[in-house]
Chains A and B, each alone.
Chain A
Amino acid sequence: MAEKRYKTKPLDCWNEAKQLRQNYYENFVKAHEIGGVRWAGGAWSFSAVPAGLGDDIYSLTGEPYGATVAYNKDFAEECHEAIEAKGYARDLCAYMRNYWGSIVLNKYVWGGEWPKPDFLWTTHICCSHAKWYQVAGELEGGIPYFCVDVSVGPYNEVNERRLNYIVSQMIDGIEWMEKVTGRKYDDEKLIQAVYNECRATSLWAEICTLNKAVPAPLDEKTMYSLYVMGTLMKHRKECADFYEKLRDEVKERVANQIAAVGNERFRVMTDTQPPWAFLELWRYLQEYGVVSIGSLYTFGLIGIFEVKEDGTWGPRTTPQEQGIEIETREQALRVLAEWTLSRPEWQHFYSPELKSDMMKRIVKEWHVDGVMLHYNRGCEGLSMGIAENKLALKEAGIPVMHFEGNMGDEREFDLERTRAEIDAFLEILGAR
């Protein structure tokens, strides 16, 4: 165990984060009791759009749900076996299989029966997403389903036509939602949700930016429990408010040199979703004074960044900070589409070079000593181009290792082998 060098303390807002997450999953179950509406879709979905249906609209986003199942190894295995028995391949997205398995078993990971959504609303970002909810709808016995295609290329090639394609689909989606719910759509609620989303995702980027500090005020394992709010409800006021409170607390930690890992001597970053059932590895790193400061995934799946005047990465300036007043439905959808396409964890779908450049930026600005890539068999979307990222990092002289695993299917993760690989990497870094 490396010597302690910095003060540490738990986050003051930790319990609030836990409560917020618990409320989210409970509210979804109880939505019908209060006459509310339940929808399900991907964490990448334009969640601000259904918000225009009312204040009693509750969502269940599939990926964080799948990750929660993954953390519960026994239930995950039950889910996998249930869906494999239906003929689905075991190399498909592990989150998707956890989600489908829950439907087949009629079991909610938080207890009780599976809460059937009233409609499905998602975006197609990888080969799985549109098909995920197509199959989910079938397994549920038929649920109204709308999917927005966002495959218009990376942010640096966005133009009016590409935005129009996405915005026009969302306009159609709103008409569709009115039909399937019988509710009148409220543009004001949409506009507010868009503001919330921009505020929440910019704040998360700011929180991640604060982690450039040495010692790091947050470690990645803790960040997993915090970024998740953005994957659940990035469009909701309570999410943005929570991130504001968290940002203030992290700022204070930086000012007072309060570390996430008291013995911080080395800093690493990872890539893609972790093997959720084996987060003990992140604690194992800490035994050697190694803190994982995050990853492009932890930062950029939710955080929206921009290059600041000094050339470094920081939180993107929100429309409200720019004094932009959103007045119409179409304008709100346009802001939302443009904002969403700038998400860092999207660009790699078009070019491994874009992702490699962002990773190299993180290495430099966050003072990273080495990179640990998770070759994640459970998610082909975020594993796309990962081997090219590895080559690019090596070419840049950055120490890099990879370990193979699966974010949501523990049958494909070898803990001891991975630990041995990490040991070797720590020796190379000089930490062990």
Chain B
Amino acid sequence: MQQNLFEKFHEWYENRHEYAREWKEKTRGKVLGYFCTYAPEELIYAAGVLPVRILGSHEAQSVTEPHIFAMFCPLCRDCLAQGLQGRYDYLDGIMIAQCCLHMRQAFTSWRKHVPLDYSYYLYMPHGVQTPRAYPYLRGELADFKKSLEEWTGKKITDQDLDHAIEVYNENRHLMKRVYEFRKERNPKLMGLEAMEMVVSSQMIDKEEHNQALKELLKELPERNVKREAGTRLMILGSEDDDTEFLRMVESTGATFVIEDHCTGSRYFWNEVVPQKDRLSAIAARYIDRSPCPSKDWPERTRLPHILKLAKDYNVEGALLIQQKFCDPHELDIPAIRSHLEKNGIPTYFLEFDVTVPVGQFKTRVEAFLETFQLPTDLF
């Protein structure tokens, strides 16, 4: 039992499409694919719809070549490929909460070429540091709510919203509790396990996910960790569900103890703080969340947040990764590297593509990890 604590999350991650199809069969409900974690899932969930994050499959492909110029990031092309190849043929609709140009392009091409009942572009503000964003987003959420109601034929009540907020907040809270165990000298979970836990939460009915998290939390404190943590690493940067890479790095003896990815902590770090006006509360949550670099201006709020994570989780070194051509992260990485290094945390940079050259990366990561070894005497 103890060895398989995270097996459920792994299965969900690997079999995301089967899960969604079964969910549809079981509930007769609709499934809505979303392209970025700024999607206000609470609203979708309150409408009785299953929100599912659209991600790639990390396989080489050429179907997107006629649709997206090759200088756009591998993730957006990989995501669009899934749609063009029919991998998400169970989706009833898609939506995007405005994010980077790359994902927006995947969304608009999907909308044009994959027949669907429903699509929605939510004009999520980029200016999340201006107080003007709160009432603006609240209004945009009201439009989205109305659109969902028309699509599903179901009125979204305050009770529905309260329930969705409660379920989502619980999920965030539970995952944060799990993350506490990553702070331990010998973390109770590996980075790969954490990744599969978080990413699966973006694809699974949150109530079911919460159940699994509660089960996990019963067992996790007693988990017998049979390995040393090795070098405590942080990983941060673009979207990352490259499990193969994490597995490889952790096989060298290091452990990822924290990350700043939209497939990791950035997705769930902030909760909805209840307000009488539910839409205002949801709007505030998405405006105040740990930002994507495309929204982190004029101040660089990511720097203190990332450094705090590094300190809280006792990080020794940081791997900064970036999806090739991901401009928002390319624009932050020099500042983050400099900030971490000034604060005594060595960094190493890697550029990811749809598939990663594991052998080459292993050599490079091992060289980085060697710098943490104490020098040995020659004699």
**Chain A interfacial positions (CB closer than 8 Å to B):** 86-89, 91-93, 124, 126-128, 130-131, 133-135, 137-138, 145-149, 151-153, 161-162, 164-165, 168-169, 172, 349-353, 375, 377, 380-381, 383-388, 390-391
Q: Do B127 and A124 touch across chains, with their CB atoms under 8 A apart?
A: yes
Residue of chain B at shortest CB distance from A377 = B71
Name, among B101, B121, B324, B332, the residue most crowded by chain A CB atoms within 10 Å (CB to CB): B101
Q: Do B132 and A130 touch across chains, with their CB atoms under 8 A apart?
A: no
Q: Do A385 and B297 touch across chains, with their CB atoms under 8 A apart?
A: no
Q: For A351, list chain B residues within 8 Å (CB).
A: 108
A-B contact pairs, 8 of them (CB 8 A): A124-B126, A137-B298, A169-B127, A169-B132, A350-B104, A351-B108, A384-B105, A388-B109
Name, among B108, B333, B338, the residue most crowded by chain A CB atoms within 10 Å (CB to CB): B108
Q: Do A149 and B133 touch across chains, with their CB atoms under 8 A apart?
A: yes
Q: For A388, list chain B residues within 8 Å (CB).
A: 67, 108-109, 112
CA distance A353 to B105 in the complex (A): 12
Q: Do A391 and B67 touch across chains, with their CB atoms under 8 A apart?
A: yes
Q: Do A87 and B108 touch across chains, with their CB atoms under 8 A apart?
A: no
Interface status of B379 (Cβ within 8 A of chain A)? no
In angstroms, how far is the closest chain A Cβ from the Cβ of B101? 5
Q: Do A387 and B66 touch across chains, with their CB atoms under 8 A apart?
A: yes
Are A87 and B101 also in contact (CB < 8 A) when A151-B125, A153-B121, A375-B69 are? no
Give 5 closest A-B pairs by Cβ, nearest first: A149-B127, A87-B334, A165-B136, A131-B331, A130-B297
Q: Mark B309-351, 1 if CB is under 8 A from A, else 0.
A: 0000000000000001101101111110110000000000000
In angstroms, how far is the closest chain A Cβ from the Cβ of B204? 30
18 new A-B contacts at CB < 8 Å, known A380-B101, A380-B327, A381-B101: A88-B331, A89-B333, A131-B294, A131-B327, A134-B297, A135-B331, A138-B335, A146-B298, A151-B126, A153-B123, A165-B125, A165-B133, A169-B130, A350-B121, A385-B108, A388-B67, A390-B66, A391-B66
Q: For A138, list chain B residues within 8 Å (CB).
A: 335
The count of residues in chain B whose C-beta lies closer than 8 Å to any C-beta of chain A is 45
Are A383 and B71 also in contact (CB < 8 A) when A349-B104, A350-B121 are? yes
Residue of chain B at shortest CB distance from A379 = B71
In angstroms, how far is the closest chain B Cβ from the Cβ of A176? 11
CA distance A349 to B98 in the complex (A): 11
Q: For A128, list chain B residues within 8 Å (CB).
A: 327, 331
CA distance A145 to B330 in the complex (A): 21
Are A349 and B125 also in contact (CB < 8 A) when A138-B335, A145-B298, A165-B132 are? no
Interface status of B293 (Cβ within 8 A of chain A)? yes
Q: Do B297 and A387 touch across chains, with their CB atoms under 8 A apart?
A: no
CA distance A387 to B63 in the complex (A): 13
B130: contacting residue among A133, A149, A350, A353, CB under 8 A: A149
Name, among B68, B293, B330, the residue most crowded by chain A CB atoms within 10 Å (CB to CB): B330
CA distance A280 to B192 in the complex (A): 54
Q: For B67, list chain A residues within 8 Å (CB).
A: 387-388, 391
Q: For B105, list chain A residues within 8 Å (CB).
A: 352, 384-385
Interface status of B72 (Cβ within 8 A of chain A)? yes
Residue of chain A at shortest CB distance from B124 = A151
Q: For B121, list chain A residues within 8 Å (CB).
A: 153, 350
In angstroms, how far is the closest chain A Cβ from the Cβ of B309? 21
CA distance A350 to B122 in the complex (A): 11
B101: contacting residue among A92, A137, A384, A390, CB under 8 A: A384
CA distance A169 to B134 in the complex (A): 12
A349: contacting residue among B101, B109, B327, B331, CB under 8 A: B101
Q: For A164, list chain B residues within 8 Å (CB).
A: 136
Are A134 and B127 also in contact (CB < 8 A) when A89-B330, A352-B108, A380-B101 are? no
Q: Do B297 and A124 touch across chains, with their CB atoms under 8 A apart?
A: yes
Interface status of B212 (Cβ within 8 A of chain A)? no
CA distance A391 to B84 in the complex (A): 15
Q: For A165, list chain B residues within 8 Å (CB).
A: 125, 132-133, 136
Q: Do B98 and A130 touch across chains, with their CB atoms under 8 A apart?
A: no
Interface status of B139 (Cβ within 8 A of chain A)? yes
Are A127 and B127 also in contact (CB < 8 A) when A88-B334, A149-B133, A383-B71 are? no
Residue of chain A at shortest CB distance from B122 = A153
A91: contacting residue among B127, B133, B140, B330, CB under 8 A: B330
Are A91 and B125 also in contact (CB < 8 A) when A380-B101, A383-B71, A387-B69 are? no
Residue of chain B at shortest CB distance from A354 = B108
Q: Do A353 and B112 touch across chains, with their CB atoms under 8 A apart?
A: yes
Q: Do B297 and A147 touch across chains, with their CB atoms under 8 A apart?
A: yes
CA distance A353 to B112 in the complex (A): 9
Are A131 and B328 also in contact (CB < 8 A) when A87-B337, A126-B101, A391-B67 are? yes
CA distance A134 to B319 in the complex (A): 24
CA distance A92 to B127 in the complex (A): 21
CA distance A95 to B147 in the complex (A): 40
Q: For B327, list chain A residues within 8 Å (CB).
A: 91-93, 127-128, 131, 380
CA distance A349 to B126 in the complex (A): 14
Interface status of B300 (Cβ within 8 A of chain A)? yes
Q: For B216, list chain A residues within 8 Å (CB).
A: none
Interface status of B5 (Cβ within 8 A of chain A)? no
CA distance A350 to B67 in the complex (A): 15
Interface status of B100 (Cβ within 8 A of chain A)? yes
Q: For A89, list chain B residues within 8 Å (CB).
A: 330, 333
CA distance A387 to B76 in the complex (A): 14
Q: Do B127 and A147 touch across chains, with their CB atoms under 8 A apart?
A: yes
CA distance A377 to B70 in the complex (A): 9
B125: contacting residue among A126, A127, A149, A385, CB under 8 A: A149
Name, among B68, B132, B293, the residue most crowded by chain A CB atoms within 10 Å (CB to CB): B132
Q: Do B298 and A161 touch across chains, with their CB atoms under 8 A apart?
A: no
CA distance A352 to B298 in the complex (A): 29
Q: For A161, list chain B residues within 8 Å (CB).
A: 136, 139-140
CA distance A86 to B335 in the complex (A): 10
Q: For B139, list chain A residues within 8 Å (CB).
A: 161
Q: Mark B109-130, 1 if CB is under 8 A from A, else 0.
A: 1001000000001011111001
Q: For B132, list chain A residues within 8 Å (CB).
A: 165, 168-169, 172
Q: For B330, list chain A residues within 8 Å (CB).
A: 88-89, 91-92
CA distance A117 to B19 in the complex (A): 56
Q: For B337, list chain A residues within 8 Å (CB).
A: 87
In angstroms, how far is the closest chain B Cβ from the Cβ of A127? 5
CA distance A370 to B190 in the complex (A): 57
CA distance A161 to B132 in the complex (A): 11
Residue of chain A at shortest CB distance from B136 = A165
Q: Do B71 and A380 touch across chains, with their CB atoms under 8 A apart?
A: yes
CA distance A133 to B300 in the complex (A): 12
CA distance A130 to B324 in the complex (A): 21
CA distance A131 to B297 in the complex (A): 7
Q: Do B104 and A384 touch across chains, with their CB atoms under 8 A apart?
A: yes
Q: For A353, list chain B residues within 8 Å (CB).
A: 108, 112
Q: For B72, list chain A residues within 8 Å (CB).
A: 380
Residue of chain B at shortest CB distance from A93 = B327
Residue of chain B at shortest CB distance from A96 = B331
CA distance A386 to B108 in the complex (A): 12
Residue of chain B at shortest CB distance from A351 = B108
